[in-house]
Amino acid sequence: MDLVVKTDIFPKQGETTLGNLFTTVPGGKGANQAVAAARLGSAVSIVGCVGNDSFGDPLIQNLQEQQVSTTHVRKLNDVSTGIANILLSDGDNRIIVVPGANQKLTKNMIREIESQIKASFLVMIQLEIPRDVIEETLKMCNEHNIPVLCNPAPAQQFDVKWIDQITYLTPNEHECEVIFGADFEEVASRYPNKVIVTLGKEGALYSNGEEIVRVPGFPSNVMDTTGAGDTFNGALAHQLIQDKPLSESVAYANAAGSLSVEKFGAQGGMPSHNEVANRLGGIQQ
């Protein structure tokens, strides 16, 4: 659950400032990306955990209302549902994530859903879950030749040795530096058609093996940037499972991300396919 505070001024260390809004909004990187893909028309199933507390049931209900299957979401006792403390000011955000119940996800839980993974066209994974669960998921996907789209956030969780097991990696510029210790264009060149670097309003870039391909972003009337990256990933996955070219898929994802920032909340602005198509000028059908 996202615990959102809006303020005109980010407080400095030791400083107290007044806010002008507090609200709770369904979030979580995995849930956001699942909702983004589902809203565009993909069939999506999510794997994760919530606590048996005041946030758990509303989050499950929200996913179901967004047409995301929650068959593999477990409700656990004696642990809180994960939260993100989100501070918003002047179109920017600062976020602290407390994973909570998702830290109780285990390798055994992943093994129990092997048939679901085997039946999938693509698996999206983020890093707000234990490292051994990430490794088990990657191993299982590779065994069954299931493509993996990994959004490496929080970047500190990422292990570079996983790169060969990942089909698409979607860091932003900062995450590239944290993970690889190198300039993002250099990283993209090192992993052609695999590393797709998101650049906010500037769009995204990747290497096609011969040159850097820059895919421009779209103008937006920004209200809230929370969830823009998650929308990008969900939209990218939605296109890739339809065997769309990477350049076309990234453009689609940029358009979806640009729409998502125009409404409040991580999931509030996630667009439908028709909305993305309209922003693209009717190119995508």
Residues annotated as part of the active site: 230
Q: 3-state DSSP call for residue 222?
A: coil
CA distances for 122 relative to 32, 170, 172, angstroms: 16, 15, 21
Radius of gyration of the chain (CA): 18
In terms of Cβ atoms closer than 10 Å to its own Cβ (0-12, 13-18, 19+), residue 249 is buried
**Is 65:57 a contact under the CB 8 Å cutoff?**
no
**Is 179:199 a contact under the CB 8 Å cutoff?**
no
**Is 103:78 a contact under the CB 8 Å cutoff?**
no
Number of Cα atoms under 13 Å in the Cβ half of residue 282 = 0
DSSP state of 210: S
CA distance 261 to 171: 18
**Is 89:79 a contact under the CB 8 Å cutoff?**
no
∠ CA 200-174-235, rounded to 5°: 40
Residue 248: which residues within 8 A CB-CB, separation 6 or more? 239, 284
Given its phi and psi angles, is residue 254 left (phi above 0), alpha (psi -120 to 50 degrees) or beta? alpha
Q: Are strands 204-207 and 212-215 parallel, antiparallel or unpaired?
A: antiparallel
